[in-house]
Amino acid sequence: MKNKNQNLKYIKAKNKVERERGFYTHLIIYFLVNVMITILKLWNDLDSWESFTNELISINVLSVWCIWGVFLVLHFISFKFGGAWEERKIEELMNKELYNDSKR
């Protein structure tokens, strides 16, 4: 029984680490891709500092950061606060499995 409880704890910890890794991967991709998109959009406006800054704060550049940023925030919320139901479901299924094993 103690071994099965350790397995349950291991599964919970592994699941949490996988969700955390998924979020951080999303965060890194967010920054890399958005920096590349911003550089590509600004490449033509290197004439003067004023045209560069005007283009940098334009809706054309900021919209990509903001729209994807909303999805990143939603991913963070689901990663940080949405795992409770998943852990309860895993525990429920593991307890059901433990109960079935003890009946045999």
Q: What is the pLDDT of residues 21-66, one digit of tens each?
A: 999 999 999 999 999 988 888 887 677 777 777 777 778 788 989 9
Please tell me the total number of residues recorded for the chain in this structure. Answer: 104
Distances (CA, A) of 57 to 3, 40, 41, 52, 99: 57, 14, 11, 9, 60
pTM of full prediction above 0.75: no
- Which structural domain range is residue 75 located in? 2-103
Report the C-alpha gap between 34 and 41 in whole angstroms.
10
SS3 1: coil
- Report the chain's terminal Cα–Cα distance, integer Å: 14
Number of domains forming the structure of the chain: 1
